[in-house]
Amino acid sequence: MEKHEAKSRIEKLRELLNEYGHHYYGLDKPIVSDAEYDQLMQELISLEEQFPEFITSDSPTVRVGGEPLPFFDKVQHDVPMLSLGNAFNEDDLRDFDRRVRQGLTNGEPTYSCELKIDGLAVSLKYEQGKFVRGATRGDGTIGEDITQNLKTIRSIPLRLKEEVTIEVRGEAFMPKSSFTTLNEAKEAVGEEKFANPRNAAAGSLRQLNPKVAAKRNLDIFLYSISRIENETITSHHQALNYIKQLGLKINQESRYCKRIDEVIEYVQSWVEKRANLPYEIDGIVIKVDALEQQKTLGFTAKSPRWAIAYKFPAEEVVTKLTGIDLNVGRTGVVTPTAILEPVTVAGTTVKRASLHNEDLIREKDIKIGDSVVVKKAGDIIPEVVNVLLELRTGEEQDFHMPTHCPECESELVRLEEEVALRCINPKCPAQIREGLTHFVSRNAMNIDGLGERVIAQLFAEGLVEDVADLYKLKREQLIELERMGEKSVENLLNAIETTKINSLEKLLFGLGIRFVGAKAAKTLAMHFETIEAIQEADFETLKSVNEIGEKMANSIVNYFEQVEVQDLIGELRELGVNMTYTGPKLPSTEDVKESPFLNKTIVLTGKLTQLTRDEAKQKIEALGGKVTGSVSKKTDLVVAGEDAGSKLAKAEQLGITVWSEEQFIQETAN
Which whole-number Å values give the CA distances from 223 to 129, 166, 200, 302, 670, in the listed order?
18, 13, 21, 19, 41
Rounded to whole angstroms, the Cα distance separating 187 from 331 reads 40
Phi first, then psi: what are they for 660, rounded to 5°? -80, 170
Nearest C-alpha neighbor of 309 from the set 514, 41, 88: 88
- With pLDDT > 70 as the criterion, what percentage of the chain qualifies? 94
Q: What is the pLDDT of residue 62?
A: 64
- CA end-to-end span of the chain: 63
Average of per-residue pLDDT across 100-126: 92
Phi first, then psi: what are they for 620, rounded to 5°? -65, -45
Q: 69 Cβ partners below 8 Å, 6+ apart?
A: 148, 208, 209, 210
Question: What is the dihedral angle through the alpha carbons of 310, 311, 312, 314, rounded to the nearest 10 degrees?
Answer: -150
Residue type, 550: E
What residues are labeled active site?
Answer: 116
Rounded to whole angstroms, the Cα distance separating 650 from 346 reads 50
pLDDT over threshold 80, residue 272 = no
Minimum mean pLDDT among 270-284, 574-588, 613-627: which range? 613-627
Rounded to whole angstroms, the Cα distance separating 538 from 183 reads 57
Quickly state the pLDDT bin for 164 (edges 50, 70, 90).
very high
Minimum mean pLDDT among 21-30, 269-278, 603-612: which range? 21-30
Q: What is the pLDDT of residue 39?
A: 80
Domains and CATH numbers, the chain: 3-64 (1.10.287.610), 85-311 (3.30.470.30), 317-413 (2.40.50.140), 429-574 (1.10.150.20), 601-669 (3.40.50.10190)
Q: What is the pLDDT of residue 2?
A: 80
SS3 assignment, position 171? strand
Q: What is the pLDDT of residue 369?
A: 96
Q: What is the pLDDT of residue 111?
A: 97
Quickly state the pLDDT bin for 285 (edges 50, 70, 90).
very high
Q: What is the pLDDT of residue 34?
A: 67
Average pLDDT, the chain: 87
HSE of 54, CA atoms in CB hemisphere, 13 A = 21
Minimum mean pLDDT among 11-15, 21-25, 143-147, 577-581: which range? 21-25
Quickly state the pLDDT bin for 591 (edges 50, 70, 90).
low
Average of per-residue pLDDT across 254-279: 91
Nearest C-alpha neighbor of 471 from the set 460, 484, 458, 487: 458
255-257, strands of its sheet edge to edge:
85-87, 307-311, 281-288, 111-117, 255-257
Minimum mean pLDDT among 29-38, 247-256, 298-307, 322-331: which range? 29-38
Whole-angstrom Cα Rg for the chain: 28
Quickly state the pLDDT bin for 24 (edges 50, 70, 90).
low
E strands, 412-532, in order: 412-413, 421-423
pLDDT over threshold 60, residue 66 = no
Quickly state the pLDDT bin for 328 (edges 50, 70, 90).
very high
Rounded to whole angstroms, the Cα distance separating 223 from 249 reads 9
Average of per-residue pLDDT across 29-52: 79
Quickly state the pLDDT bin for 587 (edges 50, 70, 90).
low
pLDDT over threshold 90, residue 244 = yes
Quickly state the pLDDT bin for 398 (edges 50, 70, 90).
very high
Quickly state the pLDDT bin for 252 (edges 50, 70, 90).
very high
Rounded to whole angstroms, the Cα distance separating 204 from 218 reads 8
pLDDT over threshold 70, residue 203 = yes
Who has greater pLDDT, 440 or 59?
A: 440
Who has greater pLDDT, 11 or 239?
A: 239
Average of per-residue pLDDT across 432-454: 91
Average of per-residue pLDDT across 532-548: 90
Minimum mean pLDDT among 130-144, 251-265, 398-412: which range? 130-144
pLDDT over threshold 90, residue 367 = yes
SS3 assignment, position 411? strand
Residue 507, Cβ neighbours under 10 Å: how many?
25
- For 587, counting Cβ atoms within 10 Å of its Cβ (0-12 exposed, 13-18 middle, 19+ buried), the class is middle
Rounded to whole angstroms, the Cα distance separating 478 from 486 reads 9
Rounded to whole angstroms, the Cα distance separating 114 from 282 reads 11
Beta strand 421-423 pairing with 412-413 = antiparallel
Q: What is the pLDDT of residues 472-518, one digit of tens each?
A: 999 999 998 888 889 989 999 999 999 999 999 999 999 999 889 88
Q: What is the pLDDT of residues 523-534, one digit of tens each?
A: 899 889 999 999
Answer left, alpha or beta for residue 583, where phi above 0 means left and psi between -120 and 50 means alpha. Answer: beta
Nearest C-alpha neighbor of 61 from the set 136, 147, 154, 200: 154
- For 286, counting Cβ atoms within 10 Å of its Cβ (0-12 exposed, 13-18 middle, 19+ buried), the class is buried
Residue-wise DSSP of 70-110: SSPPEEE-SS-----EEE-SHHHHHHHHHHHHHH-SSS---
Minimum mean pLDDT among 82-86, 117-121, 229-233, 621-625: which range? 621-625
Residue 149, Cβ neighbours under 10 Å: how many?
30
Minimum mean pLDDT among 52-66, 166-180, 269-283: which range? 52-66
Q: What is the pLDDT of residue 1?
A: 75
Q: What is the pLDDT of residue 410?
A: 93
Residue-wise DSSP of 321-385: EEEEEEEE-TT-EEEEEEEEEEEEETTEEEEEEE---HHHHHHTT--BT-EEEEEEETTTEEEEE
